[in-house]
Structure 1
Amino acid sequence: MFFIATQAVGQDIPPKNEVNIPAEKDTDTITITKQSGLLPNNTIQDTTKTDTIKPKKEFLTGVVEYYGEDYVYMDRNEGKIYMYNKAFIIYEDMRIDAGLIVLDYNKNEVFAKGIDSAGIYIQKPVFVQASNEARPDSLRFNTDTKKAIVYNTRTEQNGFNVIAQQTKRENDSVYFLKNVKFTTSKNIEDPEYYFYTRKAKFVPKKKIVTGLTNMYIADVPTPVGLPFAYFPLTEDRQSGFIIPTIGDNNRGFFFQNGGYYFAISDYLDLTVLGDYYTNGSYGLRGESSYALRYKFRGNVSIRYENLINSERGFPDFSQSSVYNIRWSHTQDAKANPSSRFSASVNLGSSRYFQQSINQTNNASALVNTLSSSVSYAKTFETEPQVNITVAATHSQNTNTQEINMSLPNFNGSVSRIFPFAPKSGSKKGIIQNINLQYDVTAENRIRTTDSLFFKPEMFDNAQLGARHTIPISTNFKILDYLSASASTTYQETWVGNTIRRSFDETLNDGAGAVRQDTIRGFDSYRTYNFSTSLGTTLYGTFNVGNENSKIQKIRHVVRPSISYNINPAFDQFYEEYEGPQTAEQAANNIPGDPVSYSRFESTLFGAPGRTFSSSIGMSLSNTFEAKVRNKDTTATEPKKVVLLNNLNFSSAYNLAGDSLQWSPVRFTGSIPIVEKLDINFNGSLDPYALDNNNQRIDKFNIDNGGSLFRLTNANMSLNYSFSSKDFKREESTDTETFRNGGRKDDLFGDATDINSGNIYKDNEEDAEESKSDYDWYNFKIPWDLRLAYTITYANNQRQDEISSQSLMFSSNLELAPRWTVGVSSGYDFKNKGVTLTQLRFQRDLESWQMSFNWTPIGSINTAWYFFIGIKASVLSDIKYDKRRLPDQRL
């Protein structure tokens, strides 16, 4: 046994130019002898000196895993290990799979290649290190220097497939390639297109820099070439330039959609785009998207265009500007359940979508209403609960260019209170069910026009007001089958200004006119009403067959109800002024007839009612259902089918009226035909007759030689969509047309979203589906069809005419696995003409995509647009598009 005492001390390397002061050593004065007892007797001291020859560094410093299915052979003479058939070797973060792997521990190298099986080269090497993967024909890898030479490698980086004849790996971050092909094609062995270069430098996940580069299509070189090329491969978003589209039209030579993308952060980006035309027209657009996980997300778009038609000095020269602002913000429901903020803004020039020089979306040109809403809601979890909402709303008619805004708009409410409810148990009786609540609405309403928008004049006629509402109601049962309710509502209205009218004889060049003055200051009025109702539900079942019959039972559900409403007349809020004199009154010096008005007219909520009303309302709701034999033989119950859904009739009788006391009978209903197809209808039946001037008279139509009721108006509509996928086609809810205020579907046409660079879906599921469809394409052709039909009948004054009738349809058909055609059109039976029509042709060119949209029929929207480009977003700038804009002069 040898006992060796050792002490080790760690020390930093001293900096240069510093004096190294050796530590002082204390002399050990204790002498150890045999007699001291510290060393055993007969102990032999080791006099062997330390070996000065350093051991050879190990070939592999880590754990190595290797395998060969047929054999693993070790040749000690050559210093090699052979692994054959489905072999692999794992060392640190490196893994190599191949048919044959040779480990040479004399040269510190690993050699891998495939094997030849019946003339087919199989089990090609797969080299994986960290997150990088390469699939060459063969490779050599030095475990000491980490360098490698790879032959005929195939690798994928951010959607880029790189095929190199020879690759030299310098380190983890630099590769040098020789005779290289770059492509986004899925078919690596035979790509339909690629970029070819003789030399390239490859930095994984960062960039590819090449020398002279040419574009090949179907192995045929094209004139498209660059003296050098740079391909970014970053996984994160990066700022960079957006290459514009070049072309010409009636405004001259142009650059469109060119700009810069700012990758500000992981939560925010910004895209700035611009257009320029040689006649002086230009456009600017800024788009930004933002998101914070579990908090909110949204996007902002601001678009402005300065439009010049013709040339300066020509008689048809004109200049105008249009703009559009969109903002969408949604809050995650989990962010704050008691506080919510949302925004949906779409405002701007009324003619933006009709006059824009950079719009490929014809369906947006049919939008006639723009609307916006920005709101913040807060809930206070008190008892009772309090809710408040602060909002700003906007509504704009693009035809009349009239704009209505509510800025701001405040709504507050206190939840329902039951003051006489028991502390425990259910509420019973008329007293315990008495409840009340409180609501307040305050608004600053602005009405203006498109030309005055964002100008100080728009606030000149702003109306400010608030309305407080306290509804009190109760409900109870009568004879256990009748449901009764009674309610009264108290309202108090505040206004910021009122009016005063008078007849001024000095106006209108002495002819006189009514003068209206605005009285600034607070004023208010109070109103109230009362109503009660009684209703029940009746069920009737009719047996029409046995268990083996197709229709077994028919069920009729009837819900009759009757109500009474009374609204007092509030004459105290009305005044009179002396009206203009007639010629006879002026000759006899008699004052003009008094004219009644309310000072609350033209205010935010209008004047209180002056007419006393007391009316009885009646309604009848019907639902017809049938139980039919279930086609599923394993089902134990028959299937329920709705025959007629919500066939409702309603009318009223005015007890306070002296004539025409019955209101027209309104009816609505829905008839289910097949799945997803309902025929919806509504109309009015008038019991009174018309005189020779087609005016209603106080005489029943049946007493005037007619029928019991006159059908004065009616409407019927239906929407139906079906496809070869049996209604499994999912509709997009966030299309560009919908964001612009139009329809979600493509009944008015569809737009090619060229900015996303992806017209076609491109994922594994679609690829497999497309592959399966290809084999049986003669029997399985994907298609879809959407129909919308509406007809309106008018007979208020014996016109007896169809006031409107139209049929719209859209369809998409895949003629071949990669050919899709579509059409959106319609027919106006009233005006006897075809509505706006769009024809769509799309071709999936594997790595490329082609689209042609043509609008041959339409008032001002006749245009066409052609686009061809690479699908991959990294090469989305490699494209060609051509368009013909609508003629704005029509």
Structure 2
Amino acid sequence: MAFQKLSQSVTKIHLKALRTNNFKILFALSFTVFINTFSFAQDIPNKERKIDRKVIDPAERDSFLLSTDSLATTEVSEKSQDSTLTDSITPKKDFLEHTVTYHAEDSTTFNQKEHKLYLYNQAKIVYGDMNILAGDITIDYVKNTVYAKGITDSIGGYTQKPVFTQGTNVVEPDSILFNTKSKKALIYNSKTEQGEGTVIAKITKKENDSVYFVKDAKYTTAEDLEDPDYYIKLRKAKIVPGKKIVTGLANIFIYNVPTPVGLPFGFFPQSEKQTSGVIIPTFGEQNDRGYFLQNGGYYFAVSDYIDLTVLGDYYTNGSYAARLESNYAKRYRYRGSFGFRYENIIISERGFPDYSSSKIYNLRWSHSQDAKANPSSRFSASVNLGSSQYYQISNNQVNVSNRLNNTLSSSVSYSKTFQGEPQVNYSVTATHSQNSQTEVINMTLPTFQGSVGRMYPFASKSGSKKGLIQNINLQYNLRGENRIETTDSLFFKKEMWDEARAGFQHTIPLTTNFKLFKYFSLSAGSSYNEVWTFKTVNKYYDSVNEEEVEETVNGFDSYRTYNFSTSMGTTVYGMFNFEKEGQDRRIKAIRHVMRPSVSYNINPSFDNYYDSYEVVDADGNTSADVEYTRFENSIFGQPNQTFSSAVGLTLSNNLEAKVRDRDSTATEAKKVVLLNNLNFSTSYNVAGDSLKWSPVRMSGGTQLFKNQLSINFGATLDPYALDNNNNRIEKFNIDNGGSLFRLTSGNLTASWSLSNKGKGAAKDGLTDKNIDENLRGGGRDDDLFGVSEDFAKEQKSTDKEKEEKPNEFYHHKIPWSLRLAYAVNYSNSKRQNEISSHSLMFSGDIQLSENWTIGASSGYDFKNLGFTPTQLRFERDLLSWRMNFSWTPFGDYKSWNFFIGIKSSILQDLKYEKRRQPDINL
């Protein structure tokens, strides 16, 4: 590349071989002297005439130059004068390969003697993919160089520093000298972004478009590049923008103080796409497992849609762990994650009395489909299964917040909808539920559900439905299950499948609804139910062994039932006005909304599905007749043997108040909810021979203090008394010398979120990543049980920007948040009169300064008089670094974890981590 000299007049001299014409030579020399004499008059352009832009196009250069010669005639083609049609000499490349564009605000000056072009103030030059912005640019046409620098103003400030851009690489130096022919450059005091970091160098040599050499440079991810809090000193380095940085001796400087942490050579990948690479492990020592290496492995960038992380732990006593983590996503289609964790935990050494070994695993998979992918079908998955004690004894610090989980659950489902009249839907679902205490596992592999939408056979053609007849509707539902109940030790073994039970249930509900006496809404219906099963039972009494025998009968069998129901309800509004003329009371009015309803249900007796067998004693006498049904092990229940005719009563309440708004500018009263709901329900069995009234169940809830305090409560009230053996008797409690109702159970739960950072800020201490980890493990959506301690994966987030400080003065409010959860349960069904559970849990965070944050999660069990698992957290923002300390001071999970490392993901392996893990008892 080179720049062509610009002038107002140029003469093209053409020399021909084979003969000499003295007259033409003399004429050409005279013309050249004449033109050059007048060309120097245009060295400095008129200041009033501003040259904003000039473009030289190589394709039009010849025609432009010839047009300036008034004496030039039509040029005779050289080719036509030469008898040789082909030339063996390769023609030279055009002097300019690209269009040159330049611009300056103040002046654009060309010096004909020095062959230099000067651009001043907001200067810009573009040539191909090269772009230079600077305050002062000088182009030397003889040396083929471009020199760009800033402008020094009257007060000594250096402004308009050069910005050199070539392709996607951007360099911001103090000055730059660029050779347009060789494309090499010397760059002084440059700052170049390379991936997430920045290279600061006094002198940089640009070899070509893709290679830079630096000496005594600094590589940092700090935000303050003028005074970085840390940097890696690169004594000699080669930079390939967008690909890599290769360096010789390099070590870390913290606030310009050298540290012994360094390498004789280094390699920094700078790919703009995700790349595979090694994950450096953390080393340490554990009391009962020896020295260890944790969380080391390899990251595989499989494609733009999926990745894979393989991690492992190893302990010198033989314990080890392996983890596979994968995330995948496709825009507008789906996204999800998959994880498998396996741990072989060994305590002590083989041969010692305290030696023990355990193998645990956990499988997690979540998948969600974008709503735009397919509106008529949907596939989703949420899987969390494995060893029942995985979260309790796992070494992985990610599982801290899920150690108190008692249940693991999974669900994988696919649903499809066929539009039309009527609409048809079906779904296939596989579910799993596992209790970590009893180690009992319940699964449905799979569950099939199909339905045909509601049909109104008597509706009018206009579409509106009025009255009893036109509102008659029916639909069809089908449900099929293959249900398995097993234990942790038999999971996915042959014995698990032997206990599987399968069946189908067909349901056809027929209902209608209409208005009665204008204010009452009445509904009535009937339901037909048919159950298919493939296993039944047969029972008989073995007089030889004197025992009852139950046999499983394989084969198809079925039973059919039906019932009738009707209900009537209405809504009653009550308003209590407190306003009086001439008084501005705080409470304006209270509105009470009641929704009473009465229902009646008939369930016929289907005793034809029941059989009996005789129990014969040793003397040959029949002692009893035992009734049973062969469908008693059906997964959809058994047919009703007793006729029931019951009346149900329910009453729901809602209380709201209108109060004077504290805002004096408000024109209307503010609505405040006193009780979200207060519900009562009971039933009376008309066909029953005793204990016809069922207990009254009461439940309610409300929210106070601008919805920061949420309260829910419930109770069970029994109208019948107890005998001396604490059994219910056919006698009302009030007739037995007691109260109208006997409180048999009660519960109260309350949660309170407090913060001085405004509404909704009480969960600021818990990130979306923490919540996702908790929920995927089946835990809570808060930090009351603690948070994950995997600090090494908490990389710098660019999504959440820091809040702007209002000013630099001291802010007297220290940001804090507090979360409280209170729960108490009362039991008195057998006159035990005890508090079955009583606990208070709390968690909170305090931001002592802009960079210091402390937090805690704990609780107290008032029944067992002890603290729940407690976690204390300390976090320090060190600008480019982050320091975390987590401590569980007492309990079964007594441990601590310290971490300090760089926030940037590219240098996430530059860290120090020290921990003491809890001693696990297998």
Output the TM-score relative to the length of structure 2.
Answer: 0.87
From 574, 590, 593, the counterpart of 1:554: 590
* SS in structure 1 of the partner of residue 305 of structure 2: coil
Measured at CA, do residues 90 and 46 of structure 1 come closer, stay the same or move farther in structure 2, by a change above 3 Å?
A: closer
C-alpha offsets along residues 719-764 of structure 1, whole Å, 9 cap, x if unaligned? 1213222123366554212211111110110113435342x65567
Measured at CA, do residues 49 and 196 of structure 1 come closer, stay the same or move farther in structure 2, by a change above 3 Å?
A: closer
C-alpha offsets along residues 77-128 of structure 1, whole Å, 9 cap, x if unaligned? 3223333444333333333233332222232222122333434433322222
1:536 CA drift (Å) = 0.7
From 852, 857, 863, the counterpart of 1:819: 852
2:130 aligned partner, one-letter code: M
* 2:368–2:380 CA contact under 8 A, matched in 1: yes
1:520 CA drift (Å) = 0.5
Q: Does 1:690 align with 2:726?
A: no
C-alpha offsets along residues 342-400 of structure 1, whole Å, 9 cap, x if unaligned? 11110001111122222343221111110001111111113211111111110000111
1:519 aligned partner, one-letter code: V
C-alpha offsets along residues 394-453 of structure 1, whole Å, 9 cap, x if unaligned? 000011111001001111111111111111142111111111111111111111100111
* 1:721–1:727 CA contact under 8 A, matched in 2: no
Measured at CA, do residues 667 and 885 of structure 1 come closer, stay the same or move farther in structure 2, by a change above 3 Å?
A: same
2:136 aligned partner, one-letter code: L
Q: How does 1:36-47 map to 2 (within 5 A)?
A: none
* SS in structure 1 of the partner of residue 224 of structure 2: coil
Aligned to 1:605: 636
Q: Does 1:487 align with 2:525?
A: yes
Q: Return the alpha-carbon distance in structure 2 between the equivalents of residues 291 and 708 of structure 1.
A: 61
1:470 aligned partner, one-letter code: I
Q: Return the alpha-carbon distance in structure 2 between the equivalents of residues 56 and 336 of structure 1.
A: 57
Measured at CA, do residues 764 and 72 of structure 1 come closer, stay the same or move farther in structure 2, by a change above 3 Å?
A: farther
C-alpha offsets along residues 587-613 of structure 1, whole Å, 9 cap, x if unaligned? 4x4223111111111221232121211
Q: How does 1:79-478 map to 2 (within 5 A)?
A: 79-117=115-153, 118-249=155-286, 250-478=288-516
Q: Does 1:670 align with 2:706?
A: no
| Unpaired segments ≥5 residues, structure 1 | 1-43
Q: Return the alpha-carbon distance in structure 2 between the equivalents of residues 829 and 278 of structure 1.
A: 42
Q: Return the alpha-carbon distance in structure 1 between the equivalents of residues 361 and 292 of structure 2.
A: 20
* 1:468–1:493 CA contact under 8 A, matched in 2: yes
Q: Does 1:790 align with 2:826?
A: no
1:782 CA drift (Å) = 1.9
* SS in structure 2 of the partner of residue 579 of structure 1: strand
Aligned to 1:31: none
Q: Return the alpha-carbon distance in structure 2 between the equivalents of residues 500 and 631 of structure 1.
A: 74
Aligned to 1:32: none
Measured at CA, do residues 691 and 230 of structure 1 come closer, stay the same or move farther in structure 2, by a change above 3 Å?
A: same
Aligned to 1:8: none
Q: How does 1:739-750 map to 2 (within 5 A)?
A: 739-750=776-787
C-alpha offsets along residues 230-287 of structure 1, whole Å, 9 cap, x if unaligned? 0000011111222222222131222222222211111121111122222111111111
Q: Return the alpha-carbon distance in structure 2 between the equivalents of residues 348 and 301 of structure 1.
A: 12
* 1:59–1:108 CA contact under 8 A, matched in 2: no
* SS in structure 2 of the partner of residue 457 of structure 1: helix
Q: Return the alpha-carbon distance in structure 1 between the equivalents of residues 521 and 156 of structure 2.
A: 88
* 1:241–1:259 CA contact under 8 A, matched in 2: yes
Q: Return the alpha-carbon distance in structure 1 between the equivalents of residues 175 and 881 of structure 2.
A: 31
Q: Return the alpha-carbon distance in structure 2 between the equivalents of residues 361 and 657 of structure 1.
A: 52
From 810, 820, 823, the counterpart of 2:843: 810
Q: Does 1:779 align with 2:812?
A: yes
| Unpaired segments ≥5 residues, structure 2 | 1-72, 83-88
Aligned to 1:517: 551
From 628, 644, 647, the counterpart of 1:616: 647
* SS in structure 2 of the partner of residue 765 of structure 1: coil
Q: How does 1:863-878 map to 2 (within 5 A)?
A: 863-878=895-910
Q: Return the alpha-carbon distance in structure 2 between the equivalents of residues 55 and 646 of structure 1.
A: 90
* 2:536–2:552 CA contact under 8 A, matched in 1: yes
1:46 CA drift (Å) = 9.1
Q: Return the alpha-carbon distance in structure 1 between the equivalents of residues 295 and 790 of structure 2.
A: 13
Measured at CA, do residues 764 and 822 of structure 1 come closer, stay the same or move farther in structure 2, by a change above 3 Å?
A: closer
From 691, 694, 698, the counterpart of 1:660: 691
Q: Return the alpha-carbon distance in structure 1 between the equivalents of residues 97 and 151 of structure 2.
A: 26
- Please provide the CA RMSD for this pair: 2.3
* SS in structure 1 of the partner of residue 788 of structure 2: coil
1:145 CA drift (Å) = 2.3
* SS in structure 2 of the partner of residue 735 of structure 1: helix
* 1:271–1:288 CA contact under 8 A, matched in 2: yes
Percent identity, please: 59
C-alpha offsets along residues 182-220 of structure 1, whole Å, 9 cap, x if unaligned? 111111111111111221110010000011111211211
Aligned to 2:62: none
Q: Return the alpha-carbon distance in structure 2 between the equivalents of residues 293 and 402 of structure 1.
A: 39
From 687, 710, 713, the counterpart of 2:742: 710
1:464 CA drift (Å) = 0.8
Measured at CA, do residues 837 and 764 of structure 1 come closer, stay the same or move farther in structure 2, by a change above 3 Å?
A: closer
C-alpha offsets along residues 597-638 of structure 1, whole Å, 9 cap, x if unaligned? 111112212321212111111111111112223344554432
* 1:834–1:857 CA contact under 8 A, matched in 2: no
Output the TM-score relative to the length of structure 1.
Answer: 0.90
Aligned to 2:61: none
1:772 CA drift (Å) = 4.1
* 1:562–1:616 CA contact under 8 A, matched in 2: yes
1:72 CA drift (Å) = 4.1
* 2:238–2:247 CA contact under 8 A, matched in 1: yes
Q: Return the alpha-carbon distance in structure 2 between the equivalents of residues 777 and 489 of structure 1.
A: 71
* SS in structure 2 of the partner of residue 745 of structure 1: coil
Stretch deviating more after TM superposition (71-80 or 235-244): 71-80
Aligned to 1:830: 863
Measured at CA, do residues 780 and 354 of structure 1 come closer, stay the same or move farther in structure 2, by a change above 3 Å?
A: same
Q: Does 1:571 align with 2:625?
A: no
* 2:397–2:790 CA contact under 8 A, matched in 1: no
* SS in structure 2 of the partner of residue 362 of structure 1: helix
* SS in structure 2 of the partner of residue 200 of structure 1: strand
Stretch deviating more after TM superposition (470-479 or 212-221): 212-221
From 675, 684, 693, the counterpart of 1:644: 675
Measured at CA, do residues 882 and 473 of structure 1 come closer, stay the same or move farther in structure 2, by a change above 3 Å?
A: same
Q: Return the alpha-carbon distance in structure 2 between the equivalents of residues 48 and 644 of structure 1.
A: 101
Q: Return the alpha-carbon distance in structure 2 between the equivalents of residues 466 and 81 of structure 1.
A: 90
* 1:789–1:806 CA contact under 8 A, matched in 2: yes
Q: Does 1:592 align with 2:623?
A: yes
* SS in structure 1 of the partner of residue 774 of structure 2: helix
Q: Return the alpha-carbon distance in structure 1 between the equivalents of residues 99 and 242 of structure 2.
A: 27
* SS in structure 2 of the partner of residue 315 of structure 1: coil
Q: Return the alpha-carbon distance in structure 2 between the equivalents of residues 223 and 61 of structure 1.
A: 50
* SS in structure 1 of the partner of residue 775 of structure 2: helix
1:59 CA drift (Å) = 6.5
Q: Return the alpha-carbon distance in structure 1 between the equivalents of residues 226 and 411 of structure 2.
A: 54
* 1:68–1:88 CA contact under 8 A, matched in 2: no
